[in-house]
A and B are shown apart, each in its own frame.
Chain A
Amino acid sequence: MHTVSRKSERLVNLTIALLATRRYLTKAEIFRTVEGYEGTTESKERMFERDKDDLRGLGIAIELGSFDPLFEDEAGYRITQANYQLALGELDGLDIGILSLAASAWSGAVLEKSSESALLKIQSIGVTPTSDGLTSLTPRLILTDPNFSKVTDAIVRRAEIDFGYVSNSLDVEVRKVQPFALYGRTGIWYLTGLDCERGENRTFRLDRIHGDVLVSKKGGRFEAPTSSTHPSFTLALDNVERAQMKIRKNRGHQLRALATDTELGEEWDVIGLPILDQSALLSLILWHGDDVEVLSPADLRSSIVSVLKEIVATHG
């Protein structure tokens, strides 16, 4: 317990000393004045290197520079307040109330600890939160996948990741990806990035990742694209093959939702829609049984017929 205190004491003292100084402190000055650096010069150096890494790990950036660039004096260290302190601008009671509500969304979910420590820092500003005008509706994020934090860490550090991904045929394929973005859409999380082996940008569903994501220790490996603000890659709808089908009146609502044109009839309507994923469409058509008849294209029509024959054969 004592060694634990000694180390944390030294780190806090180092932080205070480097924050308080206006000029750069040389290593020699640090060893002489900051409490906790003991032993041979070599062991002090080792201690200091580790301390710098530890503080950096806590998000505290130590600046290296020299007091006077005209003279070749020894480089020194300092922490500027601008790099250290919270910079969210003015926050009033309502802002704090809103941020508190936002943080509470993670209750029981994967970033719960981070949201709590964020809230603690914001409460330290010393402004009393108000909730005037806010509803009592608390948003909830139901997210417990431990890969979430690994992927966010990799995106922030620009580190490559490796993971097993469940394919259409349920095989687990190993993917190596430079991750750019992570976003949620109707409760499902998507990861976009450069698939290193395929050399193309791809989108992956987080819930289709099998096992743990491995994050490379080396950061700063790539630049994320900045051109598009929306990292999900949109598909061009021109030149996509289209399907036409008859749909019984008041039936086939899921297919109708995809239709780009509809021709109303007596007992049947005819709709047209783009074929974005042939096998998904085939499956959706089959779901609707005898409420749908495919008119074109011919290969989709014949696929339906052969699948139906197979189902009849296997079910007597």
Chain B
Amino acid sequence: MVKENTTPLDQVSRMLDLVPFLLTHQGIALSELAKHFNVSEEIVLDDLNTLWMCGLPGYTPLELIDLSFESGFVTIRNANTLAKVRKLNSSEIISLTLGLDLLKDSQMTLDTSIAARVESLSDRLREIIGASFFIEEDGYAALRGKIHHSITHGLDLTFDYFSLTKDSRSQRHVTPYGFYIEDNFEYLEAYCHSAQAGRVYRFDRISEAVVGDQSTVTAPVKSQRSADRVRAAIQINRASRRNAERLGISLVAVSAGSEIVIESFTPEWILRSILAGAGDLSLTQPAGLIAAVSQSARLALALYE
């Protein structure tokens, strides 16, 4: 049983919104009404019973709001004063405005009339709330559209993929089957034809995506990450926000002199992270990787000698 939303103010807010909703949804089932307002039927019943006592001064049957709900279906009459839908509060406007900003990115492949609608709604809301809240276009609208198209039509996709760790670009030929967001990054899940296995690709590292005209039917293969994670122990010589963010460790949990353990799928990523740590980090485990860090630093140093 839902026991939240029972403060008097929440109830007032709900009652004021119930009236216009009921006026346009006459005969709605009590259970459905409760679902719409995200509260239990018990609470909606209490709201309706209270609302039934409300009306214009005088409070005779002529002035009171007329509700009937004994049958389990709700109808309302004599509620003209509250008939108008209430205006949106600032959080509601912000939620819609930012949602529309995102929509612009995901609906770009659509015809311009939809884009114009989104723009117009967005303008109307911003007229009320101002320009203080927005999401910048992320530039992946076209990519998202292509992936969506290739998934719904079962078509292959080719693109250039940048590997940060390997510092290299290569062409990939895949059959996409999904995408998701994790830790603020958006990923494509696909079957990779050269690896003959499922792989994930980060959106911001994909370029030159082209939807093919061929459909290679493959059963979705869950991406296989190599099971071998490399564990490394790192000593923090100097605390630095950049390193903490790179290593994905809590920003304030680390202090100079402490040691942390991280895991990675690729030893090369650990090696480069230590170099990029600019002396703020030293690797203390495993021995093989320590030697590799030293070797890389020596090779780089040789350029300057």
A positions within 8 Å CB-CB of B: 1, 4-5, 7-9, 11-13, 15-17, 19-20, 33-35, 54-55, 57-60, 81, 83-89, 94-95, 98-99, 101-106, 111, 114-118, 120-126, 133-135, 137-142, 149, 152-153, 155-156, 166-172, 180-188, 208, 210, 224, 229, 231, 250-254, 279-280, 282-284, 286-293, 301, 304-305, 307-312, 314-316
Contacts and interface: CB of A to CB of B under 8 A. Distances in A.
Nearest to B287: A316
B252 to A, nearest CB: 6
A169 B251 CA distance: 10
Interface of B: 6-9, 11-13, 15-17, 20-21, 23-25, 36-38, 46, 49-51, 53-59, 81-82, 84-96, 98-103, 105-107, 109-111, 113-114, 117-118, 121, 124-125, 128-136, 138, 144-145, 148, 162, 164, 167-169, 181-182, 184-186, 204, 237-242, 244, 251-252, 254-255, 272-279, 282-283, 290-291, 293-294, 296-304
B184 A188 contact: yes
Contacts of A55: 12
A290 B57 contact: no
Given A19-B81, A86-B85, A124-B17, A141 B144 contact: no
Contacts, number: 351
Contacts of B301: 305, 308-309, 312
A279 B278 contact: yes
B92 A287 contact: no
B128 to A, nearest CB: 8
B82 A315 contact: no
Contacts of B186: 187
A98 B121 contact: yes
Given A111-B94, A111-B95, A117-B17, A186 B184 contact: yes
A84 B86 CA distance: 6
B21 A124 contact: yes
B240 A168 contact: yes
Contacts of B297: 289, 308, 311-312, 315
Contacts of B276: 283-284, 286-287
A4 B57 contact: no
B15 to A, nearest CB: 5
Contact of A121 (B46, B92, B129): B92
Contacts of B7: 4
A10 B95 CA distance: 30
Given A105-B103, A133-B113, A137-B148, A184 B6 contact: no
B233 to A, nearest CB: 13
B283 A315 contact: yes
Contacts of A122: 85
The 5 residue pairs across chains A and B that have the minimum distance between CB atoms: A126-B24, A102-B99, A187-B184, A139-B102, A118-B92
B253 to A, nearest CB: 9
Contacts of A81: 84
Given A102-B99, A115-B95, A142-B184, A170 B85 contact: no
